[in-house]
Structure 1
Amino acid sequence: MKTTSDLSTQIPEPAFTRFLFADTRMNVVWTLLRIWLGYEWLHAGWGKITNPAGVWVGEKAGVAVSGFLKGALAKTQGDHPDVQGWYASFITNFALPNAELLSYMVAFGEVFVGIALILGLFTGIAAFFGATMNTNFLFAGTVSSNPLLLVTAIAIMLAWRVAGQWGLDRFLLPYLGVPGAPGKLFKHEPRSPQSPIPPTA
């Protein structure tokens, strides 16, 4: 009779993908891609924060986001709209009423993602949040550089084990660990069994 352990198996990772996404010999490639992607995010976010009109951060915060979202709603017409109905509903019921908050989140989010990627700090997580922003921009009907940035972010997410090796992750990940594999900070040394106390006479 087969037990549960006999039925549960792991599919081995192909040598090519292991080399591409987990081999430290690919450090140079992933470091260059990571820094380039980080620069793109930092440049975009910093431009929003320092915008002299203050339409992203400042007295008029939310103006730029509102204009962008209203433009997205205009793309919901026709047989093959650029913006799907469910996303238009999200824009109408959530995004537009919170345009000022989203304005700050986008501007500072882009800066934080950019800095984290450049420094190699929680690289996989930073790439995930960058990809999330790219996906939302695409859902809103804006192509621009978003497909390229999204593909690059997904690749970095797959290569998270080595993408930050030439960065702060080299020191932080062994210390903090990852889900399912705690680092030095969370590892508890097994206590040695105490010697029994000899009975008194």
Structure 2
Amino acid sequence: MKEENEIIIPENPISRFLFNNVHAGLIWLLVRLYLGYAWLTAGWGKVTSDAWTGENAGAAVQGFIGGALAKAEEGGDVAGWYAHFLQNVALPNAKLFSFIVAWGEVLVGLGLIVGLLTGIAAFFGTVMNVSFLFAGTLSTNPLLFILATWLVLAWKNAGWYGLDRWALPLLGTPWHRKSKDNIET
């Protein structure tokens, strides 16, 4: 219900197309498949690695954190507050973080590839990208972060060519066709 004094700013046509039109879902499908493949292959490499989930689980995370802490000591690209988090939270729980990162990457990749809970999968991908960026690791993280952020914004139609088309209405997020009785103003 619209209040009498409420001011509605109309959405520009480009945003309306990108974030609300099912035809833009084809664009998001390409972005989803690219990101999903990147996350899935990175995660699968970790899940099948002894240093991430095997007998030596946590070793790779300890090495990664050690590198980030060294950068922080040198006054590099790692902020002091994040170094404190790595030193006092992540490092003592390296095995747990190893499991979370490895399987998190796999789940984000699968979610994006099949288009299931696309906005949520992309959000958790951005969380991981930001964590890697805070730790001073560039690589492909800036690109993946930007693309995943756009997918988060396009959550309504990014999974249209995927399982979200059916899953989101079942979860209470309805997509519906415009009809004469249902015309947006």
TM-score, normalized by the shorter chain, greater than 0.5? yes
CA deviation vs aligned residue, 1:83-134 (integer Å, no higher than 9, x gap): 0001011111101011100000000000011011100000000000000000
User: Structure 2: where are the runs of 5+ without partners?
Assistant: 177-185
The 1:32–1:182 alpha-carbon spacing in structure 2 relative to 1, beyond 3 Å, is: closer
Q: Give the structure with higher Rg (CA).
A: 1
Match of 1:6 among 4, 7, 17: 4
- 2:66 maps to 70
Relative to total residues, which structure has the larger helix share, 1 or 2?
2
TM-score (norm 2): 0.89
Q: Residues 133-144 of structure 1 correspond to what in structure 2 (within 5 A)?
A: 133-144=128-139
Q: Residues 116-195 of structure 1 correspond to what in structure 2 (within 5 A)?
A: 116-178=111-173
Q: 1:182, CA displacement in angstroms?
A: 11
- 1:31 maps to 29
Query: How far apart, CA to CA, are the structure 1 residues paired with 2:42 and 2:95?
Result: 18
Q: 1:14, CA displacement in angstroms?
A: 1.4
Q: Residues 92-103 of structure 1 correspond to what in structure 2 (within 5 A)?
A: 92-103=87-98
- Do the aligned partners of 1:176 and 1:182 also contact (CA within 8 Å) in 2? no
Q: 1:78, CA displacement in angstroms?
A: 4.9
Match of 2:48 among 47, 50, 59: 50
Q: 1:10, CA displacement in angstroms?
A: 3.0
Amino acid at match of 1:170: R
Q: 1:23, CA displacement in angstroms?
A: 1.1
- Aligned identity (percent) is 55
Q: 1:162, CA displacement in angstroms?
A: 1.0
- 1:59 maps to 55
1:82 paired to 2:82: no
Query: How far apart, CA to CA, are the structure 1 residues paired with 2:67 and 2:17?
Result: 44
Query: How far apart, CA to CA, are the structure 2 residues paired with 1:24 and 1:60?
Result: 46
Identify which range, 121-130 or 28-37, moves more after superposition: 28-37
Amino acid at match of 2:157: V
Q: 1:144, CA displacement in angstroms?
A: 0.3
Q: 1:5, CA displacement in angstroms?
A: 3.2
The 1:182–1:17 alpha-carbon spacing in structure 2 relative to 1, beyond 3 Å, is: closer
Q: 1:156, CA displacement in angstroms?
A: 0.7
Amino acid at match of 1:35: L
Count of residues in correspondence between the two structures: 175
Q: 1:135, CA displacement in angstroms?
A: 0.3
The 1:18–1:182 alpha-carbon spacing in structure 2 relative to 1, beyond 3 Å, is: closer
